[in-house]
């Protein structure tokens, strides 16, 4: 286990407004601001254009369906602050971004961060571009948390962040062509089109675009790479702890949850499309606040509202990823990775409460030594295959047993976490990378592992290394807006700051050159 000494860091991103700036674009004149930022001995200025709408408000008849491109902007347009987050569970959202409960259904906006141009006019249009897609299990998330001034400055790249719809508003599906689902993925796709069409006006190179994301954002960037109509919208991909092959990244029973949500709110028409049409006229937060309709067992591995087979954006992730006809997927550079204890997040957050409940029901006289084999393994096998078998249970149990001391309680605890990490993250991500390496035509396939236990880690001591999402502050240079949610407001070590600087350079160098 790697431990770091504490060091006080008073401020990560300077909030000093140096001046207002404006830029003439094909959308009109857009006004932003420029701030000084300092990170680990690096100093510079970053231009910020925040809260630019890329789509019309997805309200009324536009709810649950593909977004519509924004028609016009006021000229000039003031892009001086982040737009609202899309409607979502406010309690969960505030755990990540405390103090910013601003949500509105008119939420589809992008934010563009540009390094101060130090090379004269010749440098304009030459910046590599990094487009961030946030995670949050497809249930929560917003771009405001990922303010990338430090990544922009240290990496010398244009960084774009975006909002997309989450929860039922982003991923409800009736299973029909009227409401096929995946509205959130279509939001992302429209934002990528906006970047392709407009980023040159901000100094970015539309021919050097890297999309990157974490968890649900990581699986999203791969979904975007599997959609062939995205050709030319990006050339590289970074996925942190996410893949379309992850069990939590796909929903096979969307109509069941749509029916329950509609009935709960009073949209009881037996025709599911008509019931969803009724939902289009209900207050957005009322819909979101009633969207947790799955049982604990049903939502152990995935939320109710995640991507589905819609027949257009997604056929079958497995079949798509291994198809030799995928020109886009095999012609991009790919960097993917995991945190070594990604599985602890799923185990402690979702699986443990469910297992404790089952234990209380079933094992009144204590937990048997065979609990891992007889309950935990079958739980996963039923999720993956719909059933279990003694042969598979024996095989998995064999792989995860330490035969030096098969009944050691500490090792047993670790194999719970390891098996969860393998199933939910490691193997799906490795399978996607192998598919890319086998298909690609000379493009690069990179794998990383992040295993530093941060000083702000609040996991139990037995969770060694990095839990899910703990690489995020390192990738973004410990932004101030992330500090309270991640817990590093007062203490960050010098070694962590150095590691963050290296990671920002790794990520941005990959974006520049592959």
User: 153 vs 34, 35, 307, 448, CA distance in Å?
Assistant: 12, 11, 34, 23
As to burial, measured by CB atoms within 10 angstroms (0-12 exposed, 13-18 middle, 19+ buried), residue 451 is: middle
By CB neighbour count within 10 A (0-12 exposed, 13-18 middle, 19+ buried), where does 513 fall?
Answer: exposed
User: Are 479 and 147 within 8 A, CB to CB?
Assistant: yes
pLDDT of amino acid 120: 45
Q: What is the mean pLDDT of residues 97-124?
A: 80
pLDDT of 65 > 70? The answer is yes
* Paired tokens of 304: 């109710």
In the structure, what pLDDT confidence band is assigned to residue 14 with cuts at 50, 70 and 90?
very low
Tokens, residue 313: 């954006």
Q: Are strands 127-133 and 109-115 parallel, antiparallel or unpaired?
A: unpaired
Rounded CA separation 142/140 (Å): 7
Is 60 exceeded by the pLDDT of residue 16? Answer: no
- Across residues 321-337, what is the average pLDDT? 85
From 18, 234, 14, 11, select the one nearest 116 (Cα to Cα).
Answer: 18
- Locate 26 and state its tokens: 């094909």
Instruction: Read off φ and ψ for residue 112, nearest 5 degrees.
Output: -120, 125
Residue pointed to by tokens 């979702």: 350
Whether residue 481 contacts residue 147, with contact meaning beta carbons closer than 8 Å, is answered with: yes
Q: Which long-range contacts (CB under 8 A, 24 or more apart) does 368-371 make?
A: 369/407
133 contacts 483 by C-beta, under 8 angstroms = no
CA distance 130 to 213: 10
- Average pLDDT for 444-461: 92
pLDDT at residue 317, rounded to an integer: 65
Does position 28 have pLDDT exceeding 80, yes or no? Answer: yes
What CA–CA distance (Å, rounded) separates 438 from 436?
A: 5
- Give the pair of three-digit tokens for residue 40: 């680990």
Q: What pLDDT, on the 0 to 100 scale, is given for residue 2?
A: 33
Query: Which token pair is 326?
Result: 């995928």
Cis status, amide bond into 50, omega within 30 of 0: no
pLDDT band at 100 (very low <50, low <70, confident <90, very high): confident
To the nearest whole number, what is the mean pLDDT of the chain?
A: 89
Segment 362-380, tens digit of pLDDT: 555 555 667 788 888 888 8
The segment with the largest mean pLDDT, out of 275-289, 303-317, 332-346, 388-402, is 275-289
CA–CA gap between residue 479 and residue 490 (Å, rounded):
13
What are the phi and psi torsion angles at 268 (to 5°)? -100, 15
Spatial CB neighbours of 235, under 8 Å, sequence gap ≥ 6 = 207, 208, 209, 210, 332, 333, 514
Give the least confident one: 115-129, 165-179, 210-224, 471-485.
Answer: 115-129
Q: How many CB atoms lie within 10 A of CB 391?
A: 8
Residues 6+ apart with CB under 8 A from 240: 212, 213, 214, 215, 217, 218, 336, 337, 471, 472, 475
User: Would the pLDDT of 32 be above 90?
Assistant: yes
Which phi and psi angles does 381 have, rounded to 5°?
A: -65, -35
pLDDT for 347 equals 74
The DSSP code for 247 is G
What is the Cα–Cα distance from 150 to 40, expressed in whole angstroms?
A: 10
39/178 Cα distance (integer angstroms)? 49
Closest-CA residue to 180 (of 59, 315, 302): 315
| Separation of alpha carbons 242 and 468, rounded Å | 11
Determine which of 22-36, 40-54, 346-360, 435-449 has the lowest per-residue pLDDT on average: 346-360
| Beta-strand pair 204-214/127-133 | parallel
Note the Cα 204 to chain centre separation in Å: 23
Angstrom distance (rounded) from CA 342 to CA 87:
27
Residue linked to tokens 């994301």: 213
Q: Which is more confident, 11 or 73?
A: 73
Residue 432: pLDDT over 70 = yes
Residue carrying the six token digits 């791969």: 222
- The answer to whether residues 293 and 301 touch, using CB atoms and an 8 Å cutoff, is no
Confidence of residue 250 (pLDDT cuts 50, 70, 90): very high
Torsion of Cα atoms, 391 then 434 then 384 then 289, to 10°: 160
What is the C-alpha separation between 361 and 373, in angstroms, rounded? 18
pLDDT at 369: 61
Contact 205, 342 (CB under 8 A): no
Query: What DSSP character marks residue 199?
Result: G
* Residue where the block lists tokens 């890297």: 210
Percent of the chain with pLDDT over 90: 69
Q: Which of 12-26, 57-71, 106-120, 183-197 has the lowest mean pLDDT?
A: 12-26
């Amino acid at each position: 286990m790697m431990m770091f000494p504490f060091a006080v860091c008073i401020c990560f991103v300077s909030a000093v407004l140096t001046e207002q700036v404006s830029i003439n674009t094909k959308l009109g004149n857009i006004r932003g601001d420029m701030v000084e930022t300092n990170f680990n001995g690096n100093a510079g200025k970053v231009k910020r254009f925040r809260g630019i709408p890329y789509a019309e408000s997805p309200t009324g008849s536009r709810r649950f369906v593909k977004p519509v491109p924004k028609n016009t902007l006021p000229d000039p347009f003031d892009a001086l602050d982040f737009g609202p987050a899309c409607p979502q569970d406010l309690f969960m959202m505030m755990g990540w971004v405390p103090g910013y409960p601003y949500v509105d259904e008119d939420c589809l906006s992008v934010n563009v961060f540009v390094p101060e141009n130090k090379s004269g006019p010749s440098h304009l249009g030459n910046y590599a571009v990094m487009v961030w897609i946030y995670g949050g299990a497809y249930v929560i998330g917003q771009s405001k948390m990922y303010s990338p001034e430090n990544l922009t400055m240290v990496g010398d790249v244009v960084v774009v962040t975006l909002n997309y719809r989450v929860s039922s508003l982003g991923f409800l599906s009736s299973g029909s062509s009227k409401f096929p689902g995946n509205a959130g993925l279509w939001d992302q796709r429209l934002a990528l089109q906006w970047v392709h069409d407009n980023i040159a006006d901000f100094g970015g190179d539309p021919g050097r675009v890297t999309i990157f994301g974490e968890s649900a954002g990581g699986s999203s960037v791969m979904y975007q790479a599997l959609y062939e109509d995205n050709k030319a919208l990006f050339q590289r991909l970074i996925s942190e702890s996410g893949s379309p092959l992850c069990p939590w990244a796909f929903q096979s029973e969307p109509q069941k949850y749509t029916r329950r949500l509609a009935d709960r709110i009073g949209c009881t028409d037996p025709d599911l499309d008509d019931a969803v049409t009724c939902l289009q006229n209900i207050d957005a937060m009322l819909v979101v606040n009633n969207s947790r309709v799955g049982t604990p067992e049903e939502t152990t591995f995935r939320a109710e509202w995640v991507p589905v087979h819609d027949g257009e954006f997604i056929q079958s992730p497995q079949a798509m990823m291994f198809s030799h006809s995928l020109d886009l997927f095999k012609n991009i550079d790919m960097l993917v990775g995991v945190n070594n204890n990604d599985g602890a997040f799923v185990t402690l957050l979702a699986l443990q409460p469910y297992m404790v409940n089952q234990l209380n029901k079933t094992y009144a006289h204590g937990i048997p030594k065979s609990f891992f084999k007889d309950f935990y393994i079958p739980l996963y096998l039923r999720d993956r295959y719909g059933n279990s078998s003694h042969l598979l249970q024996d095989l998995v149990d064999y792989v995860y047993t330490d035969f030096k001391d098969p009944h050691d309680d500490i090792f047993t605890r670790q194999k719970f976490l390891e098996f969860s990490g393998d199933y939910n993250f490691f193997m799906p991500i490795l399978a996607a990378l192998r598919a890319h390496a086998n298909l690609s035509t000379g493009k690069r396939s990179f794998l990383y592992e992040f295993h530093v236990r941060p000083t702000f880690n609040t996991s139990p001591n037995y969770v060694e290394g990095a839990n899910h999402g703990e690489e995020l502050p390192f990738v973004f240079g410990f932004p101030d807006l992330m500090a309270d949610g991640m817990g590093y407001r007062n203490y960050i070590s010098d070694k962590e700051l150095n590691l963050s600087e290296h990671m920002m350079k790794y990520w941005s160098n990959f974006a520049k050159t592959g």
